[in-house]
Structure 1
Amino acid sequence: MKKLERMLNLVAALLATERPLSRQDLRGKLPHGSYSDNDESFRRTFERDKDELRSMGLPLSVENVPGTDPPLDGYRIRPGDYEADLPALTPAELAALHLASNLVRLDDVPRSDPFWQLGGVAQSDSPQVGAVADVPADDVIRLLMSATAERRIVRFTYNTNSRVVEPHRLVFTRGRWYLAGHDQGPNEARQFRVDRIGGPVDCSEGDAFVRPEDPVDVSIEPAWRYGEDGTLIARLLVHERHIPWVSDFLGPTGVVEHLADGSAIFEEPVSNRAAFRSFVLTFLDGAEVLGPEELRSDIINWLEPLR
C-alpha cells in the first residue's frame, strides 16, 4: 500500500475514534497490507508515521488507553481541535486536506500560497516532511484552480477552436491535468487535457456561473472515447497474448467474438482517431483494425509514409 493511502487511512481512524486507540488497535482498523505483518517493522513504520503527523502540525493526542494495566499509550485526533481552523470544512475534511497538502507537492507553488494554508502548515521549527508525490503545476494550472474554486468562466483555445467553459473539476490523473466542465459553445459537457490548451487562459472577475447540483466530472476512460472526430465503433482483432490486458483495460463486455486460433474481436467506440491509432500501434503485429473501413484506411494511410 502506498504511503499516502496509509497515512490517509490512519488519520481517518484517529479522527473516527471516541477513545484513544493503542498502536495494535490502529493496526487492526487499517486495511490489510497497510503495515508489515512483522511486528518490529510495523512498530518502526508506525513510529515514523506518528512523527510525521506531528511534524505536519496535526493535533495528535497521546493518552492512556482506558482499562490497561500497565497503561498503554493510546492515540487519537480530537475533532474539536480542528473546529476553529476552517469552519467551512468538517474536521475530517480539513485533516485530509492538511495531510495531502504536506505529502503532495505542486511544482513552483510556494509554501505561502493559500492552497497550503487551507491545510495548515507546520511551525517554523518543525522538521520538513518529504513529499511522496510531485505534481506539475504552472500559471495555467493555478488560474484554473482559482476559476474552478471561485466558479468563474474561463476562455481558451483548444484544438484551434475558441472555448468558453464553466469549470467544474480540475483533476491530476495518469500524469496529466484534466479540466471538466460545461462548454457553452456546443452547450454540452466536455473534458480537456490542460497541456493541449493553446495560448493564454482568460478568467475575468465578473464572469461567474452557478455550479449545477450534478457537476461534470473528469473521466479516466481512454482518450479515444472523447473527441470531435465523430464516433465510430471500431472492430479490433487482438492476438491471444494481449487479450487479458486489453480485456482488463477496455472491460470484458468489449469482447464480441472469440476465434478458433485464440484471438478475439473487440468493439470499441472511437471519437479521437489519433489517440486510438496510438493505442493500436503499441501492440505492433498483435492487433489489427478490421473496421469500419474509414477507420482502417485512416491507420493505413498514416503508416504508408513510414514504409
Structure 2
Amino acid sequence: MLETSARLLRLLSLLQAHREWSGAGLAERLGVTPRTVRRDVDRLRELGYPVNASPGTGGGYQLGAGAELPPLLLDDDEAVAVAVGLRTAAGQGIEGIGETSVRALGKLEQVLPSRLRHRVGALNAFTVPMLRTPRAQGVDPAVLTELAGVCRDAERLRFEYRDHAGSATRRTVEPHRLVCTERRWYLVAWDLDREDWRTFRVDRVEPRPPHGPRFTPRPPPADDLAAYVAKGVSRGAYAEQAVVRLLVPRAEAAQRLTPSDGMLEAETDESCLLRTGASSLDVMVFHVLFLGIEFEVVEPVELIERIRTARDHLSRALDRGVASAGPPAPGRGPGA
C-alpha cells in the first residue's frame, strides 16, 4: 500500500487523467478501500483541489475548476505563462513536444479559474507568433485539447470536415488517438457512417458539440499508429504509388525526410527504400527530385520514362538558353 503523501499524488494524477472515476475504480487502482479514497479526496479538498463527487451507483469523482487556482506551486502570472507556452508549442507542431504539450495543457486548463482562462485567451487572440512553421498548417490549440478530451473520455465526436477541395461534410466518429508530426496533426477515429477507421487532418476539423454518448473503445487499427498514419498520408491518399531506392542509410534519410514524404524501409548499410505516393507520375518526378538525395527507381517502370522525359525537356531548355545568350561579352567570360 502506498504511503499517504504518495497516494495523494497518485490519486490526483488519476483524477487529472480521466474526466470521472468511480470510487471502486479508484480504490482498485490505489490498492485501498473506498473509505480510504473518500478520506483522501477530503484531504485533496483541504489542499484546495476542487474534487466533485456524485452519489449513487452511477456516481463518481471528478476534478473540477475551482474559484481559486489550486496549489500547483505557481502564481497567477506563472500559470498564464505556462498555459500560453503550452498552447504555442502545441499549435506550432514542434517535433517531439506537441503531444506532450496537449496533455499538459489539458490538465492545466482543467483547473484554471475563469479569470485566468480569460487572460490566456486574450494573450493568444492578440499575439501573432513569427515562427518557422507555415501559418497555413497551424492548428487551433483549443481544438487539440477538445479532441484530446474526447479521446481520453471515449466520447463520440461530431464535427464538420473540409476536404482538400474545401467541401464540407458532417462526420460522427469514435475518436481514438491524436498523432502529430512536425508539420501536421491527425485524428485517428472509427467513422460510424462508413464503418471503418479513418484519419482526419485536425486543421480541417471543426467540432460540433455537444459530445457523447460514451462508447467502449475498439481495438486500434494498428499497434504502431504513427506508421499507420504515415502510410495513409504518404501513399494511401494518392492515385500513383512508387518505390524508390535512396542511396543513403535509413538513419540519414530519416533525418532529412518527414512522414508525409513516405515510409522508409532499411535495405543495406548504404541504402534504404522509400514507399511514397503522388497525384500523378509527373508530380512524383519532382517530389523525388526535391528530396535532394541520390536515388534510383525500383517501381513502377513508367516513372523511369517520366524522369527521362523531364530530363530531355530540361536539357532542351538549357540548350535554348545557351544559344539565345550568345557568346559572352568582352571582359565578362569565364576567364575574366
TM-score, normalization by structure 2: 0.42
